[in-house]
Structure formats: structure tokens, C-alpha cells
Structure 1
Amino acid sequence: MAALFDRGLGRRAMLAGVAGLSCVAARSRGAWAATADAPETRQPDPAPHARVWGATHSPAPDAEVIVLDHAFRGLLAGNAVVERVWGHGQWLEGPAWSAQGRYLLFSDTATSHQYRYVWETGEVTLFRPESYHASGSAFDYQGRQITCEHVLRRVIRWEHDGSVHVVADRFEGQRLNAPNDVIAHPDGSIWFTDPVAGPRMAGQHFMEARRAEPAGSGLPVRAAGDAGAQAATPQDHTFRVDASGRIDVVLNQQQLVDPNGLCFSPDFSRLYVASAARQARHATAHGKGSAKEHVWQDGDLSVHVFDLHAEELPLSNPRLFTNMRFEGEQMSPDGMRADLYGNIWCGVSGPTGKAGVFVFNPEGQLIGRIRLPQGVSNLTFAGPERDWLFMCAGSTLYRLRVSAQGCAPS
């Protein structure tokens, strides 16, 4: 499994590799020296040592929090260090902060469990024993949990009375692929990405989820094998479901291939969307001697930004925010969130020593890094003041106190 991380593979490749495996303990890959007043200097330690990840075992300032621009220093909270909160998962995803419940929700996509980190006690408890391999989650502006159920290929919302409302599971009569990440807008709309890799991953987990189905869960009998959905050519889309339930494509696959993480700017005037690693598409040639062939289409492993206009679609002014290249290496972006200053905090996978979190200013300049032993699938700001950054990295949940407040429903 370490080889998977070393090659910088994203969450989907990891999901295929971790199902059925035991937990993997987080290990440090060694620290590189970086001063507080200058950009990082790539000088490896003569004898890299294994870091003891915990709440009190790392000296401050933390060598894994790397200042590349003075602006990043103002986003850091004094002598805060990266803490290892919990390390008993397989592939953690979808952290989301409940301001009303004062807990952090996160999922283990590989085991299909959802967990809750209780703020007052620091205890991690099992929240839902069967989440249908939930991926991204968010809380809306009424405090309701919204989750992408990977294996059921739908987005759901848990109502205050405990009932489940299906936000979206089809578009134009076809099943969704497998929604990946989701965010809420103050106008009541829900925005989510639906990359084409979904049917393959949903099929891998379908039988396991079927066996675990509780009575009355409403699991569709043909959830992973809907004939109509499989007959159609899969389409990458980024969707918006408005408050009335109308679903619209905000970005199609010609505009952005293989959409992954997404977030709004603090004033909701911009939408940021990551394009993930390339995926295999299947095209069937009809007629005599027909054969199924693999058609490769590349996501560009970049983050793109689009302008939003209230109550208006489509989005406008598409442009590259960052190409995610760092020191000659192509990094892979995943989940991301904005702080109130407009900086974008993005989880990245890549070569050993470079994976973790990249922080960009509103102009797309990389101003700082948080280096972790594994790539970060997703992250969020949490805590009563939303000034703790929680990061899901492989089997482990980390956190860091920051001096910026994240954008989120309060």
C-alpha cells in the first residue's frame, strides 16, 4: 500500500487497493529543513527520523508547516503543530463540521463507516455503521447533513426528523456515476461533482453494501447495475440542485474533465473545481467484430475557477487557478476549502515528501504547505471558531490550529 502512496495515486486508485486490507499506521517520511523567514530549502536531513505523530510530541514551530510566502505566516496560529487525531481507518474522506452538534463528521470510504469526532471530549465514535461508502459530506445552512453515497450513486440529505431525502440520483433519466464531493450554498442549492469513475467503484462495493443493508434502508435492487445507466456513455458533470429540487449541469465534461473537489469563494462569486487524474473510459464499437476498447481522457490535474452570477447559469470566465506543478512534479489536487481571506487550502497527493496540503492566495500563488506522510483526500475547517484545519490522509485524521477562519455554515 505504501507503493500506492509513493506513486501519488488519488482516492479512486486507493479505494481499489485498500478494500479488505487492515489499517495502515501513519508514518513520517522524514522532515526537510525550512526556516520561518524564508521559502523552503530542499535539504534533506542527513539521517531522516521517524516522527512521533501526536498532540505534544513535535517541537514548535512545526517543520512540516512550511512558509513559502510571508502571507502564509499570518494564517498560522503561533507555535501550533500538526496533531494526529485518529489513525484507525483505511481511506478517510469527507470531513464536515456540524456547528449545531459541535462535532466533526468523516467517513471511511473503504469500510463504509461514518465517524464523529466529538469536540468537547476529543472522542471518536462510530456515527453510522453503514454509509454505503460515503465520500464527500457537508452541512447546509439549516444544519442538515448532505452526503454523497458512493455505492448508491446519489446525494442525500438527512432531515431534522431523521428521514432521508434523495437530493439527486438521476439526470435526464440516467443514473449518476457516483457523486464525489458536495458543498452547500446559502440560497439553498446543493452543488456536487459526479466523475465518470463512479460506476466502476460503485460496482466493487455493491455486494458488500447489499449484505450490510439494514431493514428498510431503501437500497435500490439495481443500484450498481442499472441497465439504462450502463448502456449510456458515462458523462462527467458538475451539478447544482436548487432549492426547488431542479438539477442543472453547471460544468459539462467538455468544460472540465473528471471533476473532483470543489468549493466557493467567501463571497460566493467564484467556484473552484479540481480536475482529477485521468480515467479509463469504455467505448463499444457496434457491428460485425465489435469489441470493447479503452478510451483514455485526461483530467489535467489542475484547479480551475469560474465566476458565479446570482441565480444565473452557466458559469462564466473560465480560467486556470493553478496547474498544481511543484518543483518539477505534477501534484494531484483533491478536496479543498476557502478561508475568509479567500485563500484556498487544497489536499494534494504526490511524491513522498510533497504530499499534504497546499495553500494558495486568491491569485493562485502557492504561499504555504503542510507536509504529511500521505496524500490528503479532503479537508475542512472545524471547531467553534472554525480555526482548526482537519485533514484526512489515508488511514489517518490530522488537525492543525490556524489563525484563519474557514468558510462554512455557522
Structure 2
Amino acid sequence: MTPPLTPLRRRSMLQGLGCLSAGLAVGAAAPPAAEMAETVRPPDVTTTPPRQWGPSAPPSYTPDPDVLVIDRSFKDLLFGAATLHRVWDQGTWLEGPAWSSEGRYVLMSDTVTSRQYRYIWETGEVTVFRPESYHSNGNTFDYQGRQISCEHFLRRVIRWEHDGSVHVVADHYEGRPLNSPNDVVAHPDGSVWFTDPSYGTGFTEGHADESGGEANPDGRIRWRVGAELVGVVGGTKRQADHTFRVDPSGRVDAVLTQAQLPNPNGLCFSPDHKNLYVVSSGRQAGSNGHDGDLAIHMFDVQPDHTLANPRLFTNMRYQGVQMGADGMKVDVFGNLWCGASGPLGLCGVFVFNPEGHLIGRIRLPHGVSNLTFGGPKRNWLFMCAGESLYRLQVNTQGAGPA
């Protein structure tokens, strides 16, 4: 049993704990030098015998030993003959998977290399989709099939129109630039909802603040180094956290403030859009900011588009360990599938029923940053975890458009 952990910072949880299997690998004699060049990852140790991943891995067992049933109801959501597969492992930090029903591909961001990729359904290939995405993170497709992306570097939310032009959905609130929009969902009424924490105000996923900003309080960070558009497009000093709704008219309203929910991260609607789920994450390493509670919160969506009746959906504690929630989606039955980071053997995907009870887990060798339901029938779960994309066929469907 791993001892209880103190609240963890978001990136230190994802990378420090990181679910790295190297330190936990099964002991064995050192391989010959010629073989070591090809052994880029030791076998994972979450299953017995140890599981291997990738195209050269042996056939998986069924039922899959890393798809764990906690409550009998989870079995109804599974296809018993399905097994987990790593379909790509050439990313750096993959985020924001979204399914294009028209294009029949899974779009995803690499927030570190500032590229967008797509997994093509018919061939299983992963190709570069946009070679420069301005460190995009969350993505979705609205109910008209248009791509919406959160750009950390330019600190804005954009929409790609069908004619190939770009529309800026939001880049300011009350006259102040945004921080680093993180995750985004579309509503059937044409509105766009997104979270705006500080996770892109650093070296890795965007750029730091100018001197005196919260992400660069003493001015030691050379915030203009390495990119020509720093400070030309987008903000240079962060403001307080918010969760926003952008009306079809273009008006930007804050539905949650930093005081109400700090460090907002993943968000999604219930299938009937009467409830909104939002993750409150920990502080990013080096951000000089504040901590969230690492929990998933639930709100009622009012007819006037405000939020009411705030309540805890789950505290994300499991077996005495504080896990970290990230991106999440709901299926057509109202179950919430959430990326979870934490120790090896616990991280992966947590699945909660509509009442907030944990009914199942998917165990992976990395914490999952975000996930989506894809495939023509929307019955394949795609999971971004570290540098890799995983998939699993399930017996349910995603509720949202992407």
C-alpha cells in the first residue's frame, strides 16, 4: 500500500510521480549492449505477467487485466473481447483529444512541441495536422463540426471556420488578456465554455509572464526568449482564474471565479446539459500561484446560463492516495470517464456513475491527461497519456459532439 500523499502539484504529479515504470521494473540481468539501444521502455509492472505495449507486444489477455471492474454496473459499459492498445508513442505531452465525425479522425495537441496531430480512423496512422498550434491544449468540435482550440502561447480560444479562416472566440475578459485557456466544450445553444488557469504561463506549454507577473514576479525569467510573437499577440501578465461562457453573440461571461473554483482544468456537461463538471487542479510547478483541491465539482446550469448548487462530485482519493483528475467526458448514460494521475498501478482512467461512485478503472503506465470517445459509432475510448495515445473499444458511446 502506497502511503497517503500530500496534495500534489499538477505537473509534478504528472511527471514526478508520472507513473514512470523505470524505477519499478522487474529485476533481470542486464541485456547485451546491442539490445539496450532498442529497449527504450522496460515492461510495465501493473499486471502479472508484466505487460508489454506497442506493435511488437504479444497478444493481450481477455478480459483485459488492466480494465478493472469495481462495481458490477461497469461490466455493462465494457466489450468483453476488447483489449487496451497503445497506438502511437511519438508525442511529448499529448492533450485535448477530440473526435471529428466529418473527418473521421481524432485530433490531439502536443502542448510541448506546439503541434497538432490526427489519428486517422481508416488507416490507424498518426500524421501532423498543424505544424504550429501555438501550444494548443484542449480541443473540441462544435455542433456545426467546427474545430475549437485553446492556444496557451497566444492565450486565447479560436475556432476554425469551414472556409479555413480563424475566428477568435475569446482573448480578453473585462479588458484584460486571458491566462492560458486549458479545456473547452461546446453547448448546443452555440455557446463555448472553457477554463482559464495558469498552466500555460511557463516555459513548457507557452511563455512566462513579463517581469512582475505572477509567473515571473522577480523578472529573472527571460520571457521573450525563443519565440517572435511573445507579447505581440496575447497577454503578458496573468489575471485571476476563471471558468468562462462565450455567448453566441461574442459576450464573455465568467461563470466561476477563482474564489469559487481555483485552478479550473477539465470540464464537461452531463448528457442533458443540465449539469457542469469542473476539475480543480493543483498548482503547476514554478507558477507562484495557488492550489486547487484536486477534486471534481458539479454545478446545476440555470436557464440564464449561470451556475448554481455547487457540490463535490468526487474528491479523487483512492486507496488512501490523492489522485489528480484532468480531462473528462461523459457517456450517453451519464457516467463520467476521467483521466487520473498518480502512482504507477493507480493512474489511468477512473469511471464514475452519475451519483459520483467509482465503478471502474483503466490502468495505464502513465497518468491520462485527457480522453474522448471516437470512432464512427463513438464507442472507442481514446486516451492521451504522456507521449502516447491508447484506445479501448467499449459498450457505450460518448455523449458530446466531440
When the two structures are superposed, what TM-score results if normalisation uses the length of structure 2? 0.83
State yes or no: 1:256 paired with 2:261: yes
Q: Corresponding residue for 1:305?
A: 298
CA distance in 2, matches of 1:281, 1:103: 35
Deviation at 1:110, TM superposition (A): 0.8
2:61 to 51, 59, 62: 59
CA distance in 1, matches of 2:153, 2:263: 18
2:96 to 94, 97, 100: 94
- The one-letter amino acid paired with 2:291 is D
* 1:15-94 equivalent positions in 2, closer than 5 A: 28-32=43-47, 45=48, 49-54=50-55, 57-94=59-96
Is the contact made by 1:274 and 1:304 (CA closer than 8 Å) also made in structure 2? yes
Is the contact made by 1:26 and 1:395 (CA closer than 8 Å) also made in structure 2? no
Is the contact made by 1:15 and 1:91 (CA closer than 8 Å) also made in structure 2? no
Deviation at 1:298, TM superposition (A): 2.1
Q: Which runs of 5+ in 1 are unaligned?
A: 1-6, 19-23, 33-44, 212-218, 283-293
Q: Corresponding residue for 1:37?
A: none
State yes or no: 1:406 paired with 2:398: yes
Deviation at 1:100, TM superposition (A): 0.7
CA distance in 2, matches of 1:180, 1:12: 18
2:386 to 353, 369, 394: 394
Is the contact made by 1:26 and 1:396 (CA closer than 8 Å) also made in structure 2? no
Runs of 4+ in 1 over 4 A off after TM superposition: 11-16, 24-28, 204-209, 279-282
Q: Corresponding residue for 1:320?
A: 312
Is the contact made by 1:61 and 1:79 (CA closer than 8 Å) also made in structure 2? yes
Note the aligned Cα RMSD (angstroms): 2.7
Deviation at 1:254, TM superposition (A): 1.2
2:128 to 126, 129, 132: 126
CA distance in 2, matches of 1:50, 1:388: 21
Q: Corresponding residue for 1:193?
A: 195
Deviation at 1:78, TM superposition (A): 1.9
Identity of aligned residues (%): 59
* 1:147-186 equivalent positions in 2, closer than 5 A: 147-186=149-188
- The one-letter amino acid paired with 2:45 is G
* Inter-CA distance 56–121: structure 2 relative to 1 (3 Å threshold): farther
State yes or no: 1:110 paired with 2:112: yes
Name the count of aligned residue pairs.
Answer: 360
1:350 to 302, 319, 342: 342
* Structure 2 SS opposite 1:198: coil
Q: Corresponding residue for 1:210?
A: 227
Q: Corresponding residue for 1:140?
A: 142
Deviation at 1:269, TM superposition (A): 0.6
Deviations 1:148-180 (A, max 9, x none): 001000000000000000000110111100000
Deviations 1:290-315 (A, max 9, x none): xxxx5x532000000000123x1420
- The one-letter amino acid paired with 2:260 is Q
CA distance in 1, matches of 2:262, 2:183: 15
Q: Corresponding residue for 2:367?
A: 375
Deviation at 1:79, TM superposition (A): 1.3
CA distance in 2, matches of 1:393, 1:163: 31
Deviations 1:169-194 (A, max 9, x none): 11011110000000000000000000
Deviation at 1:210, TM superposition (A): 3.0
* Structure 2 SS opposite 1:74: helix
When the two structures are superposed, what TM-score results if normalisation uses the length of structure 1? 0.82
Is the contact made by 2:10 and 2:284 (CA closer than 8 Å) also made in structure 1? no
